[in-house]
């Protein structure tokens, strides 16, 4: 009987060790997830589709699968990607792939490691990555982002119209909503126009804005602008579809 108990212990001991290690690993994973900066997503790549401008990734997060798109990069199943800033696009059609994604997130800040400390939302000079492949059908009488930056001195105090993709919105700051707009034009540092408005367009929408151009505006606390559109009205809003 003692020999039987000893053999049983030999059989159960490795199983007990295995269960203990598994439990520790699960606990370590949970702690790692809990220690991520607020607003940080950590996803594991399970499928990769490459196109000319974008890399489409099917990812897993908290047992849920979804698609993200990032500017072309090397990726493989098993990679872990961290991000905080993204555009949600519904029923997005990739012409290059001949495929419509019911939902895809265009990630602006993919990283191989978590951000050590989240930076506060900025309303000032462009901090948003440039969204590639934007195609905007401009309305009659509208200007482009590049045109506004190029002729900012001549446009100072003028009310103008512009149409573009809403890439970021900071709402209810100093009694206004602060919108970042891109339309695919402009060079480095001059491709993202900040607009203040009482309206609240959704990120990912394409909209027309009409407002007054101001230059060299300094609101203090580091919020300064070479050029900004103020007190704009928003019209003609529709879902955005950047080119694949």
Identify the CA nearest to 106 among candidates 146, 64, 66.
66
- Grade residue 116 by pLDDT with cuts at 50, 70 and 90: low
Q: Is residue 243 predicted with pLDDT exceeding 90?
A: no
Assess contact for 187 and 146: CB atoms under 8 A: yes
Share of the chain above pLDDT 90, in %: 40
The tens digit of pLDDT for each residue in 190-214 reads 899 999 999 999 888 899 999 999 9
* CB count in 10 Å sphere of residue 38: 6
User: How far is 76 from 169, CA to CA, in rounded Å?
Assistant: 32
Q: Is residue 130 predicted with pLDDT exceeding 90?
A: no
Share of the chain above pLDDT 70, in %: 75
Which CATH class name applies to 145-238? mainly beta
SS3 state at 114: coil
- Predicted pLDDT at 7: 52
* CB count in 10 Å sphere of residue 190: 18
What are the helix (H) ranges across 2-87?
Answer: 2-34
- Predicted pLDDT at 28: 36
The tens digit of pLDDT for each residue in 144-158 reads 999 999 999 999 999
Which residues are 104's β-sheet partners?
67, 89
User: How far is 103 from 68, CA to CA, in rounded Å?
Assistant: 9
Q: Is residue 31 predicted with pLDDT exceeding 50?
A: no
- Grade residue 239 by pLDDT with cuts at 50, 70 and 90: low
The tens digit of pLDDT for each residue in 174-184 reads 778 889 999 98
């Amino acid at each position: 009987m003692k020999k039987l108990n000893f053999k049983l212990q030999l059989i159960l001991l490795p199983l007990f060790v295995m269960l203990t290690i598994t439990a520790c690993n699960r606990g370590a994973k949970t702690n790692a997830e809990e220690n991520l900066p607020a607003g940080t997503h950590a996803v594991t790549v399970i499928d990769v589709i490459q196109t000319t401008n974008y890399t489409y990734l099917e990812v897993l997060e908290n047992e849920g699968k979804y698609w993200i798109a990032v500017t072309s990069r090397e990726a493989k199943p098993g990679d872990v990607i961290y991000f905080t800033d993204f555009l949600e696009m519904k029923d997005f059609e990739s012409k290059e792939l001949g495929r419509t994604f019911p939902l895809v997130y265009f990630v602006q800040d993919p990283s191989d490691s978590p951000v050590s400390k989240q930076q506060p939302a900025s309303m000032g000079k462009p901090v948003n990555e440039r969204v590639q492949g934007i195609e905007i059908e401009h309305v009659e009488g509208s200007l482009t982002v590049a045109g506004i930056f190029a002729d900012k001195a001549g446009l100072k105090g003028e009310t103008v119209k512009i149409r573009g993709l809403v890439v970021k919105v900071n709402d209810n700051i100093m009694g206004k909503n602060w919108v970042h707009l891109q339309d695919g034009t402009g060079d480095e540092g001059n491709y993202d126009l900040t607009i203040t408005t009482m309206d609240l367009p959704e990120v990912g929408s394409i909209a027309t804005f009409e407002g007054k151009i101001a230059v060299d505006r300094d609101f203090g606390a580091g919020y300064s602008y070479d050029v900004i559109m103020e007190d704009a009205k928003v019209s003609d809003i529709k879902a955005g579809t950047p080119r694949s």
